[in-house]
Amino acid sequence: MKRILFLVAIVLIAACAPKKFNEKWLTKEAPHTFKARFETTQGNFDIVARRAWSPKGVDRLYQLIKYGYYKDIAIFRVVPNFVAQFGIHNDSLTNVSWRKGIDDEPVLVKNDSMAISFARGGKRTRSNQIFINLKDNHRLDEIEYSGVKGFPVIAKVIAGQENILKFYDGYGDRLGRKQDSINKYGNDFLKRKFPKVDYIKKAYFIK
C-alpha cells in the first residue's frame, strides 16, 4: 500500500511540475508586433519585435519569451563597441531542446546600434542565442560564410539602452571561445571562473 501511495505521489508531482520544453512550442506564431521587457543585473531594457523583419526569427524569439526560457541567462559574450550576446541556458536539457535551428531568411533591416539578431554559424543554425549590436554593425548585413549571408534583425531596443551599455565587457571575446564549457557546466562554471558576467533575470511581454 505504501509503495502504491509513493508512486501516486510521484505521478502527481510530475503532473504539477512546469514543463521545461514541449516540441509544440516551436510551432507558435508571433503576432505582427510585440514588445517585451528584459530584467537584468544592470537594470531593465525593453524591445519591440516586428514579424515582417524576419518571420521565423521573430517567431522563435516570441516562443523563447512566452515559454519562460529567459531565466538566469548569462550575457556571456560582451565585446566592447561590438555586441552583447546571450542565450545559453543554465539547464543543459533545456538548452539542447531549444537548439533546433530555424529556416534561414534574408536581412531586411540593418544591424544598427541596439538592433537584435540571432547568432548563427551556418545554414539553419539560428536557435537560442541572440546578440544586441552595441554600435552600427552594417557589415553584419552583408557578411557571407558557411552558405549564409548576414544576420537578420528580429527586434530593436526601445528603452534601457544605458543599462545594456553597463554589461560587464572586461572578458571581451574570451567567453565567446568557451561556449563548450558554458554549455556543459552552465552558470556554475561562469560564476566560479568569470564572476563579473551579467545575467538576464527574466523576460516577459509588455503593452
pTM of the model: 0.90
Q: Which of 116, 6, 108 is nearest to 61 (CA)?
A: 116
| Beta partners for residue 126, in sequence order | 102
Give the integer Cα–Cα distance in Å for 134 and 82: 5
Rounded to the nearest integer, the mean pLDDT of the chain is 92
pLDDT for the residue numbered 38: 98
The answer on pLDDT for 53 being more than 50 is: yes
Residue 6, pLDDT score: 40
pLDDT bracket for residue 19 (50, 70, 90):
confident
State the Cα–Cα distance between residues 90 and 72, nearest whole angstrom.
Answer: 7
Assess whether pLDDT exceeds 50 at residue 57. yes
pLDDT digits (tens, 9 = 90+) for 68-119: 999 999 999 999 999 999 999 999 999 999 999 999 999 999 999 999 999 9
Please give the pLDDT value at position 4.
52
Calculate mean pLDDT across residues 125-142: 98
> Tell me, what's the pLDDT at 18?
52
Looking at the chain, the whole-number percentage of residues with pLDDT higher than 90 is 90
